[in-house]
Chain A
């Protein structure tokens, strides 16, 4: 009798020591595996030892594609375009979106409702609609499609995201800190430069990075307004018919690794802060 009791106690304490495996945990991890499956495929096939361009069946392990990552000049150009457009979007949408977010979060003014509505519509409008309508505009204006039109489009769909991120921060900011600065004799520009801006900076950064990510990832809108310009996603799309070379997998893997490193730094920084 007592033997069984101690045995039961032992199982209980062992169960408590080990992290409990629940249905929810299993489900979450299963979903994560599902999400990472195509990424794993992409990474695996960046090491595939094939001879031609058809990277479809597994032929054996090689590292050679990492040495020849940049042998397609037009692919390099496409990647370069993507990054350039991303940075330009981050900068322009970051500034205009931040200003709009400041206005929306701090003031009550006429046109605020309309502004809200347009931002909401710009976020929820489907990409084909945005792409198609911008293309119509550019055709009507006789604008040559290319880098400029792509940046115009990317800034347009990123502004609202930046504005919302910044607005949320402005609204939760403690106004008494700025008042304190003013009480200590700072004029409004000094207050903004030394108090408001540093407090807003994380939100501005987050909004800017979001704009960068949206821009780099965008395919649908870009395909409408790019003309002869290629970006990384457009180049992949264009090469599906002739076969996607392993270099694409290599670049995809490198971009992914950069993402992972950013994420890890973020976690470490967050840990250190708390």
Chain B
């Protein structure tokens, strides 16, 4: 009896979460495919017609948005590496007794909800706002200079929002680096540069890989940043999905776009995870 219970234990423990994830994650993703093949509208209702033609249709209509989103996501990810790696490195190796304080400082701004932080950026970066207005007043910038409604604003906004997802995994890995290994490199007459490139950098790559995943996916599918900071010419695929679902109620079209986006990202994620091993990526995520 106890042996039977012992064998059933992991399943009993996992069951509630499995049911929840199954019903509300796996089933809806399949349902998305089902929904995308329907035709009709919100007034007369939707019927299943296996309208496969919706896929070429949305791809030809929205390929530009998809490419732009992936481009912005990639740019934000690279920016996060450029900003986040040095910060993670400095905290891990030179943070001393204040390491956890620095990490907390890094996370504190994120107690304020993303919408509010992004709107706050909008006020700060307004054409006559605190930053641009001042720079214009002292003639450091031409009068018609602007940041809002440019792709730069969106990319920096995305990098701002998702920076901790890059810093934390890199920090988690650098923290584990055995200092004796680095010292050994110095003992063997490695310069600071060579010690970094040949010893520290390779050891920190799993953290960078995890960070890339954690930043690239949400930033290329984000729509808050583009909506607040991007104006009308920088709309991303997330904005399209949001308006098709919640404004136009064109559920099948919206579902098809979502499915395309998800497929593109999933193919990317899984080939990426396959090359690295999901366990490893997830362990880094867990810290």
Q: Which residues of A contact B (CB under 8 A)?
A: 22, 24-25, 27-28, 31-32, 34-39, 41-42, 45, 56, 95-97, 99-100, 102-104, 106-107, 109, 111-112, 115-130, 132-137, 139-140, 152-153, 155-156, 159-160, 163-165, 167-168, 213, 216-217, 219-220, 223-224, 232-233, 236-237, 240, 244, 248, 252, 255-256, 258-260, 263, 266-267, 270
Contacts and interface: CB of A to CB of B under 8 A. Distances in A.
Contacts of A140: 31, 34-35
A114 B130 CA distance: 52
Contacts of A24: 86, 89-90, 94
Given A109-B10, A133-B32, A213-B111, 8 more contacts: A38-B112, A41-B130, A96-B17, A126-B220, A128-B221, A137-B28, A140-B31, A263-B108
A27 B87 contact: yes
B199 interface: no
A6 B130 CA distance: 49
A126 B116 contact: no
B interface SS class: helix
Contacts, number: 246
Given A118-B21, A126-B261, A134-B28, A35 B109 contact: yes
Given A24-B86, A267-B104, A136 B35 contact: yes
B273 A224 contact: no
B98 to A, nearest CB: 10
B104 A164 contact: no
A128 B238 contact: yes
The SS class assigned to the A binding surface is helix
B101 interface: yes
A27 B105 CA distance: 14
A123 B214 CA distance: 9
Contact of B224 (A25, A27, A45, A220): A220
A99 B91 contact: no
A135 B105 CA distance: 36
Given A27-B87, A132-B241, A156 B217 contact: no
B63 interface: no
Contact of A223 (B86, B104, B222, B246): B246
A165 to B, nearest CB: 6
B166 to A, nearest CB: 11
A118 B115 contact: no
Interface in B14-35: 14, 16-18, 20-22, 24-29, 31-32, 34-35
Nearest to A157: B25
A97 B107 CA distance: 23
B14 A99 contact: yes
B188 interface: no
B113 A163 contact: no
B217 A124 contact: yes
Contact of B29 (A100, A133, A224, A244): A133
A130 B20 CA distance: 14
A259 B24 contact: no
A107 B246 contact: no
B273 to A, nearest CB: 7
A122 B21 contact: yes
A155 B16 CA distance: 12
A233 B227 CA distance: 14
A156 B163 CA distance: 24
Nearest to B283: A168
25 contacts: A28-B86, A28-B91, A28-B102, A32-B106, A36-B109, A38-B118, A39-B108, A39-B109, A42-B112, A96-B20, A99-B17, A100-B17, A118-B21, A122-B25, A127-B222, A129-B32, A129-B261, A132-B32, A136-B34, A156-B25, A164-B282, A232-B113, A248-B116, A256-B111, A259-B111
